[in-house]
Each structure stands twice: as structure tokens, then as C-alpha cells.
Homo-oligomer: A and B are copies of this chain.
Amino acid sequence: MQVIPPALDRLIDDLGKLPGIGRKTATRLALNVLRRPVGYAQELSQALAELHASIQLCSCCFAFSESDPCGICADARRDGELVCVVEEPGDLMAIEKTASFRGHYHILHGVLSPIDGIGPDELKIQELIARINSGTVKEILIATSSTVPGEATASYLIDLLQNAPVKLTRLACGIPMGMDIKYADRHTLARAIESRSLAK
């Protein structure tokens, strides 16, 4: 007995492949699409169909962009001597939202993860070295996440770039803004104590 029409089932299957979307959520989303006017499904369909066609990787920083070089790399007002190395395009977006960084980026497109077969060759690391060798970069700000694979990737980069003619920096690690010290985990608190800064 076919309770779910095949066309709906196919959409549920496809949505269920997205991260964090299980079959139950996929079913809820698909039924929601079906309940809306047909225009919404058509609009979403078209946005998906055109996605890859109009977006490419910037050949300099490897961000997703509709132009090459991307808007950030092409922006003369930004500081091309400072390059922030991030794991994913989403990290770039998060940093841009702070409006605190006026340099360029370099997107690794992943983190080192031997268990998943992701070594240095799977990331944009050779491209980073080529960028450094081109001579325009003066500082590399390593902004990988403060997770185990993020830290491992950062350590690898620091080793690799030990003798490169650039200043190497990392994001500060410490108590998040607005957090009560009581609720900070002990590793973060220990790191905040080690990295304490002068108050006056």
C-alpha cells in the first residue's frame, strides 16, 4: 500500500540527504512545500537549478562567488597583505558579519581528518603556499575553528609555514562575550587565564 505518493517520497528522500535533516523533518518540510501555493516550489526549484551555474570558486581565495576574482579579492580598499585562513565559506560569512576584518581570505574547504581520508592534498594548502610565495602576503591569520580537527589543521599550518616569510597569527581564545565565568568550561577558562592580557 503506497501511502506516500512517489513524487512526494522522492522529495522527502532528496531533502533527507541534507545535513541535520532526518526522514521525519524531511517529511514535514516536503508536506509544507506541498501545502504552499505552487509558486514557492517553482521558485525554490529554480534557485537550486541555477545555483551551480552562476557560482564558482574565486581562483585567488576559493570563496564561492559569481565573479572571479570575488568581490573581496577585487576590492582595492581591502588589505591584501593580511590573509585570514578559514575552513569553510560559512566561516568567511561569519567573520564578514563582524565588520572587524578588512583583509583578504583563504578558504581551505575542509579540515585535516585522516579518518575521513582528508589530508593536506585535499585542502587548498598548496594554493595558500603559492599565494605566500607570490610575495604580496605579510600576515596569515589562522582562523580555523577551536575544535579538535580545527586545532589539528592550525598546528599543521603553523609547522608548515614556520619558515615562510610571513607573520603567523591566530584568533584569540577565551571567555565568550557576555558569558558568566561560572558557566565557562574549564578548558576555555584555563586558556583565558594563560592568554590573559594587561588591563592597564
- The docked-state distance in angstroms from the alpha carbon of A159 to that of B72 is 65
Number of copies: 2
| A5 in contact with B40 (CB, 8 Å) | no
Q: How large is the interface on A (under 10, 10 to 19, 20 to 34, 35 or more residues)?
A: 35 or more
> Whose C-beta in chain B lies nearest to the C-beta of A9?
B47
| A89 in contact with B1 (CB, 8 Å) | no
| A65 in contact with B5 (CB, 8 Å) | yes
Q: Write out the residue numbers on chain B whose beta carbons fall within 8 Å of the beta carbon of A20.
A: 25, 28
| B48 in contact with A4 (CB, 8 Å) | no
Residues of A within 8 A of B (CB): 1-8, 10-11, 14-15, 17-21, 25, 27-35, 38, 40-55, 64-66, 71-72, 75, 88-90, 92-93, 96, 109
Task: Enumerate 13 A-B pairs (CB-CB under 8 Å) in ascending A order.
Answer: A3-B71, A7-B53, A11-B44, A18-B32, A19-B29, A19-B32, A21-B29, A31-B88, A33-B51, A34-B55, A38-B52, A41-B51, A45-B46
